[in-house]
Amino acid sequence: MAYAEKTTVPIEKTQMEIKKILNKYQASSFGLAEGKGKASIFFDMANRRFRFDLPLPPSPSEKATAASIRTYDQICRSRWRSLLLGIKAKLECVDSGITTLEKEFLAHVVLPDGSTVGDSIAPQLVHSYETKEMPPLLGWGGA
């Protein structure tokens, strides 16, 4: 069962809730981008830029039935609610001293080339586990 699979909260309201939470924790900026098959939110905090990419199902075709459009809308609302929950939980853990901002959000730090640390390191981790070799640090140097 997907989290918030029956939510009726509009996506725009969830996006505003995310922005409000980020503001509460002193994010200095906020941005939203939507593209084919995904949405992204950006924010700056503690001299870092973070990005969360939210995968979305394929948009219904022009010939889609009303039921399939409702299903698509429901999946999108549910995923946005999940993102809200995840971000809020991470920030609450940081605020209560359970973890640090760097540890909790490391995979979402945006690097100078526009990729995230998670995007950069994930293929290296796969290679490392397959070969038992340590990955180079952020693409610098070689192992």
Establish if 6 belongs to a structural domain: no
Establish if 25 belongs to a structural domain: yes
Residues 48 and 85 in one domain: yes
The pTM (predicted TM-score) of the whole model is 0.87
Three-state SS at 48 = strand
Residues 19 and 88 in one domain: yes
List the end-to-end C-alpha distance of the chain, in Å, as a whole number.
42
Length of the chain: 143
Residue 141's domain comprises 111-143
pLDDT more than 90, % of the chain: 74
How confident is the model over 90-101, as pLDDT tens digits?
A: 999 999 999 999
Specify the pLDDT at position 5: 86
Residues 83 and 19 in one domain: yes
Residues 84 and 68 in one domain: yes
Q: Which residue bears the tokens 């039921």? A: 67
**CA atoms of 77 and 71, how far apart (whole Å):** 10
SS3 content of the chain, % helix, strand, coil (to 5): 45, 20, 35
Specify the pLDDT at position 137: 64
How confident is the model over 97-136, as pLDDT tens digits?
A: 999 999 999 999 999 999 999 998 888 888 889 998 887 6
Axis-axis angle for helices 66-95, 11-24 (nearest 10): 10
Residues 56 and 120 in one domain: no
